[in-house]
Amino acid sequence: MKILIVYSSQTGNTKKLAEAAYEALQGPKEIYDIKEAPLPDEYDIVIIGFWFKKGKPDPASLEYLLKIKNKKVFLIATHGAAPDSEHAKRGMEEAKKLVQGCEILGTFNCQGEVSPKIMEKAASKPTPPEWFKDAPLAKGHPDQKDISNLVQKIKQAIL
């Protein structure tokens, strides 16, 4: 069983979770930033981590998700919204739609600290984005508890 871990990370939040997944798994595995990721064709399982932009996986991840066909997949999303919010749920559903013909082994939604620059930009909009109200609670995330929860979920889904 060969595992590919791919992540897109704007502020380091998703990278942190991808690296934790990599460390938790045994056997043949590879990890790549999405900009350098190989095609998923030669792997049995693909774990892909992404951040949300406008309530969907970021543009690079959207493109990569479409390349994953007939694989076992685990999806990891980071965002400013609360992990159980409708915003987070809708974003994950969007990601699931993109991996057609794949078996979804599991998903993990996690708050990630939002950069001050993005917070400032969101605050300046006439109507702030849906996630904005939850973003202050994202400070310090993903934290050790988030990482432990992800590792537990991945181990249950894959091992």
> pLDDT grade, residue 159 (50/70/90)?
confident
pLDDT given at position 151: 97
User: Do residues 68 and 40 touch, judged by C-beta distance below 8 A?
Assistant: yes
Q: What is the DSSP string of 5-30?
A: EEE--SSSHHHHHHHHHHHH--SSEE
Q: Could you tell me what percent of the chain has a pLDDT over 70?
A: 100
**What does each C-alpha distance from 58 to 25, 27, 64, 157, 158 come to in angstroms?**
25, 29, 10, 24, 25
Tokens for 7?
Answer: 């992540």
- Which domains are delineated in the chain? 3-158 (3.40.50.360)
The whole-number pLDDT of residue 14 equals: 97
Please check whether residue 46 is in contact with residue 1, taking contact to mean a CB–CB distance below 8 angstroms: no
Question: 151 burial class (0-12, 13-18, 19+ CB within 10 angstroms)?
Answer: middle
Tell me the one-letter amino acid at 138. Answer: A
pLDDT tier at 107, thresholds 50, 70, 90:
very high
pLDDT of residue 100: 83
Distance separating alpha carbons of residues 140 and 87, to the nearest angstrom: 20
What's the rounded mean pLDDT across residues 68-88? 95
Q: What is the mean pLDDT of residues 22-31?
A: 96
Average pLDDT over residues 110-126: 92
